[in-house]
């Protein structure tokens, strides 16, 4: 499940950031990705919710530091 969530997040990140050669790993620190700020993160989460049906807990958003943190949120939101 993690691989499919990582793939979905990667595609959404590429679309939002306009960087179509972006490669993400669970260890990727969000602050190191050009253009990935809080506004971009909100856009990505909204797209994941509307397009793929995730329902995120807003309290988890404050703890996001890595791509893996977002993937864990996605896994939690699928339960």
The DSSP bridge partners found for residue 29 are 66
Q: Supply the pLDDT for residue 60.
A: 86
Catalogue all structural domains in the chain, each as residue range(s) with its CATH number: 2-77 (1.10.1200.10)
For residues 61 and 3, give the distance between their C-alpha atoms in angstroms, rounded to a whole number: 20
pLDDT for res 2: 65
Global confidence as pTM: 0.90
Q: Mapping DSSP to helix (H, G, I), strand (E, B) and coil, where does residue 35 land?
A: coil
pLDDT of residue 30: 95
71 burial class (0-12, 13-18, 19+ CB within 10 angstroms)? buried
Q: Which residues of the chain have pLDDT under 70?
A: 1-2, 79
Contacts of 27 (CB under 8 A, 6+ apart): 66, 67, 68
Query: For position 58, what pLDDT does the model report?
Result: 84
């Amino acid at each position: 499940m993690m691989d499919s969530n990582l793939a979905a997040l990667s595609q959404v990140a590429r679309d939002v950031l306009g960087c179509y050669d972006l490669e993400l790993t669970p260890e990727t620190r969000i602050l190191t990705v050009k253009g990935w700020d809080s506004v971009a993160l909100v856009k990505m989460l909204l797209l994941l919710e509307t397009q793929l049906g995730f329902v995120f807990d807003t309290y988890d958003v404050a703890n996001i530091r890595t791509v893996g943190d977002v993937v864990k949120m996605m896994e939690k939101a699928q339960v």
